[in-house]
Structure 1
Amino acid sequence: MKAYIFPGQGAQFTGMGQDLYEKSAEAKELFNEANKVLGFDITKIMFEGSAEELKETKVTQPAIFLHSTILAKVMGDTFQPDMVAGHSLGEISALVANRTLAFSDGLTLVSKRAQAMQKACEAAPSTMAAVLGLDDHIVEAICADQNGIVVAANYNCPGQLVISGEIEAVNNACEALKEAGAKRALLLPVGGAFHSPMMEPAREELAAAIEDTVFTEPACPIYQNVSTFAVTNPADIKKNLMFQLTAPVKWTQSIQNMIKDGATQFVEVGPGNVLQGLMRKIDRSVETGKAEV
């Protein structure tokens, strides 16, 4: 069984999607539609923008979504998923790819998500840190022991967990984690505490937008960050997506469940190859690859 997986923020690069635009009339049409939906020329930034311009949340999230979803669309009949999953932002890409969401609706949600997260970041200074070389339960216990808000946010692969929360609490947790034997506990260059209670204002704003969006019967199950197991009911998919911004990304658990349910090949759809790297750390025996047209 073939699983398609979709990357999240951080995979962007200058020139992303330009090959698709030049090769495919369908891709060109979708990129032009995206410029209209967003109200600015995102294709120009994707193809020619600086790393700094691409790092802006209002650009980064739609750019990665566009690269992933347009690539899946121009693959045509070769794109035949038995199951899908997306890391954080990538979950919305996966929902367009498995036909739960229309392309323009997915793009609108991604844009609203980016703006809501940006506002939440500006309202309360916060951060994230990567922790390497400790068991998940040790990281969770140390976070729970800190004053202030700091939680496990991304379960990326065994021995790699990202924590998220208030700046002082994250810094204190990093020191305690190093003392507990972490190989590394280092702050990430992000604008705020994603996938933590500090995203509650953004969650409320995005939930209202999700509520007003049509979710249809998917072509195949999605393994969502919040639930980690196969979901096909549009109402359940919608509910899980509403809680994604404040809940942890349970990527390791999702991938393990996909393998348990019969996935033998994982194909990363979108920019970069971060998810392929995580796959090798979760289960080296499973075949991984990159989507191409």
Structure 2
Amino acid sequence: MKAYVFPGQGAQFVGMGKDLYDNSPIAKELFEQANQILGFRITDLMFSGTAEDLKQTKVTQPAIFLHSVILAKVLGDDFKPEMVAGHSLGEFSALVTAGALNFEDGLKLVYARAMAMQKACEIQPSTMAAVLGLDDNKVEEICASIDEVVVPANYNCPGQLVISGSIEGIDLACEKLKEAGAKRALKLAVGGAFHSPLMEPARKELEEAINNTQFNVPVCPIYQNVNAKPTTNPEEIKKNLIAQLTAPVRWTQTVQNMITDGATHFIELGPGNVLQGLIKKVSKEVEAESKQSL
């Protein structure tokens, strides 16, 4: 079975999507539509902006979403997903490509999410850190022992977990994790504590936007970040999408469940190839490739 997966924040690069715009009339039309919906020329920033421009959450999230979704649309009949999943922001790309959301609504929600997260980051300075070489249970235990907001945020693959929380909490956790034998506990260059309780103001804001948006039954199951389980129920999809902002991304479990349910070939659509690498670390038995252009 063919599973399509979609990357999240961090996969962006200058020049992303330009070859699609230049070589496909469908892509060009969708990119121009996106410029109108957003009210600024995001294509200028994607194709010829600076890395700093692309790092702003309000640019990064719609840029990655657009690259992934427009690539899927340009593939046309060659894009036949039997199951889909996306990492964090990538879940919105997965939902649009599987028909649960239309292109315009998907982009509006992604932009609303980006702005809400940006605001939540400004309310309280916070950060994230990557932890390598420790058992998930040990990381969870150490996070729980700290008297600050610090929680597991991304279960990326066995031996790689990202934690999220207050700056003091993350600093303390990194010290304790290294003492416990982590190969690395490294703070990330991110603007805030994504997928943690500190995103509660953003969750509330996004909840309203999601509840006011039409969701349809997707053409195939979507495995959602919150519980790593497949669903095609629009109400369940909405509930899980709202919860996603303050809950961890269960990527390891998602990939494991997709393989158990018959996935043999994973195709990552969009910028970068991070997910392809993580999938290979979850299982060496499956095929995994990444596709950024036609």
Task: Please indicate the TM-score interval, normalised by the length of the shorter structure.
Answer: over 0.9
Matches within 5 A, 1:97-176: 97-176=97-176
Structure 2 counterpart of 1:112, which letter? A
- SS of match in other structure, 1:175: helix
Match of 2:224 in 1: 224
- SS of match in other structure, 1:134: coil
Matches within 5 A, 1:216-255: 216-255=216-255
CA distance in 2, matches of 1:51, 1:290: 22
Once the two structures are aligned, what percentage of the paired residues are identical?
69
TM-score (norm 2): 0.99
- SS of match in other structure, 1:75: helix
Aligned pairs, how many? 293
- Is it true that 1:44 corresponds to 2:35 in the alignment? no
Match of 1:270 in 2: 270
Unmatched tracts of structure 2, length 5 or more: none
Query: Cα deviations across residues 23-68 of structure 1 (Å, max 9, x unaligned)?
Result: 1111000000000100000001100000000101110000000000
- SS of match in other structure, 2:241: helix
CA distance in 1, matches of 2:37, 2:154: 30
Match of 1:177 in 2: 177
Query: Cα deviations across residues 198-238 of structure 1 (Å, max 9, x unaligned)?
Result: 00000000010000000001000000000211111011001
- Give how far 1:290 is off: 2.1
Report if the CA contact (8 A) 2:142-2:176 is conserved.
yes
Unmatched tracts of structure 1, length 5 or more: none
Matches within 5 A, 1:60-99: 60-99=60-99
CA distance in 1, matches of 2:38, 2:71: 19
- Is it true that 1:53 corresponds to 2:53 in the alignment? yes
Query: Cα deviations across residues 246-273 of structure 1 (Å, max 9, x unaligned)?
Result: 0000000000000000000000000000
CA distance in 2, matches of 1:137, 1:53: 37
CA distance in 2, matches of 1:248, 1:227: 9
Match of 1:214 in 2: 214
- SS of match in other structure, 1:28: helix
- Give how far 1:146 is off: 0.3
Structure 2 counterpart of 1:116, which letter? A
CA distance in 2, matches of 1:289, 1:280: 10
- C-alpha RMSD of the superposition: 0.5
- Give how far 1:285 is off: 1.2
Structure 2 counterpart of 1:151, which letter? V
CA distance in 2, matches of 1:149, 1:268: 33
Report if the CA contact (8 A) 2:53-2:59 is conserved.
yes
Structure 2 counterpart of 1:231, which letter? T
CA distance in 1, matches of 2:195, 2:5: 19
- SS of match in other structure, 2:249: coil
Match of 1:282 in 2: 282
Query: Cα deviations across residues 134-168 of structure 1 (Å, max 9, x unaligned)?
Result: 00000000000001100000000000000000110
CA distance in 2, matches of 1:289, 1:188: 26
Matches within 5 A, 1:2-17: 2-17=2-17
Report if the CA contact (8 A) 2:272-2:290 is conserved.
no
TM-score (norm 1): 0.99
Structure 2 counterpart of 1:17, which letter? G
CA distance in 2, matches of 1:250, 1:129: 16
